[in-house]
Amino acid sequence: MRKKWLAIPYALWALIFSVIPILLIAIYSFCSRSPYGNIVYTFTWDNYRRFLEPIYLNVLWRSVVLAVQSTIICFLLGYPMALLIARSDIKKRSLMILLFILPLWTNFLLRTYAWMVLLRDQGVINQFLIALGIIEEPLKLLYTNGAVLLGMVYNFLPFMVLPIYAVLSKLDHSLIEAAEDLGATSLEVFMKVIFPLSIPGVISGTIMVFMPAVSTFIISDLLGGGQTILLGNLIQNQFLVARNWQFGSSISIIMISMILVCMAIMGRYREEGGELW
């Protein structure tokens, strides 16, 4: 029983480096600003009120729209993939799923940069199309909203495939056989048996794609080229460039709240899916 005390170093570490930082951000988000931009510890709603200005609501709107779009595309591309992997034979399956796990543990920055190499005016795609004679002038692919969306789908697709796969691979096959024996067509089996049973995985996947998509700043920074300002860019800007930590904090708190709501929904489905390994 004495072993419990071994948790003290970690408890202290987590308190100082995980809990207090978040509290600090929460406090800053209600602090005023001195004329020189310093933090003044008097209570104000100003930082939240400022977020209600049209420019910032626009940023929120754009972030949410892009995150929703990328989530939908990830779902449309990822669901069939998860289904195909879950139906492959056991031997191939582990390699196929491993190839979806690997990218998740590599650097987002590098994977996003790889698309800069492909999309720029002198990039691989434009050179290829020009060589084929399809176009004469390079297309503007980089620094567009489309490029940001592509970057999101590319980076976050595995987050959709993995939880759906986790649910589908554990599916009780006798249910499908029963439906087939009772005369259901393969479309009916999918719509009435497989898909409803996989919904927990779809929900986990949706949240796991939406969360990083709504908070990213790398993808919009590299592929949007400063033209696509999202929540993440706004936070980064307020902390490192504008030095308005109070406002940056209030945006962070708004983002954390959005994510907490998502996690509360996810918590209900954690049992059935959402494993990353």
Partner 1 sequence: MVKKALKGTYITLMYLFLYLPIFLLIVYSFNDSRYRGSWSGFTFRWYRELFQDRTIVAALYNTFTIALLAALIATVIGTVSAVAIHNMSPKAKVFFMNVTYLPVLNPDIVIGISLLALFVWMQLKLGFITLLLAHITFNIPYVILAVLPKLKQLNPHLEEAALDLGATPLQAFFKVILPEIMPGVITGALLAFTLSLDDFMVSFFTTGSGINTLSIKIYSMTKLGVSPKINALSALLFIGVIGLLGVLQARIRKIYD
* 248 contacts partner 1 (rule: CB under 8 A): yes
| Distance from C-alpha of 193 to C-alpha of 119, rounded to nearest angstrom | 41
* 99 contacts partner 1 (rule: CB under 8 A): yes
* 114 contacts partner 1 (rule: CB under 8 A): yes
* 247 contacts partner 1 (rule: CB under 8 A): no
* 199 contacts partner 1 (rule: CB under 8 A): no
Handedness of CA 175, 208, 108, 15 (dihedral sign): negative
Contact yes or no for 198/165 (Cβ under 8 A): no
Which residues between 77 and 96 bind partner 1 (CB under 8 A)? 77, 80-81, 84, 94, 96
Which residues between 121 and 150 bind partner 1 (CB under 8 A)? 122-124, 126-127, 131
* 74 contacts partner 1 (rule: CB under 8 A): no
* 14 contacts partner 1 (rule: CB under 8 A): yes
Which C-beta is closer to partner 1: that of 42 or that of 106? 106
Name the phi and psi angles at 199, rounded to 5: -55, -40
Select the residue interacting with partner 1 from 250, 252, 269, 273 (CB under 8 A): 252
User: Which of 96, 147, 97 lies closest to 117 in space, CA to CA?
Assistant: 147
Select the residue interacting with partner 1 from 101, 135, 178, 261 (CB under 8 A): 101
Shortest reach from residue 249's CB to partner 1, in Å:
7
Contact yes or no for 46/32 (Cβ under 8 A): yes
- How many residues bind partner 1 (CB under 8 A)? The answer is 78
* 154 contacts partner 1 (rule: CB under 8 A): yes
| Distance from C-alpha of 13 to C-alpha of 210, rounded to nearest angstrom | 29
Q: Name the one range near partner 1 by CB under 8 A: 20-28, 162-170, 173-181, 189-197.
A: 20-28
- Residue carrying structure tokens 């449309």: 76
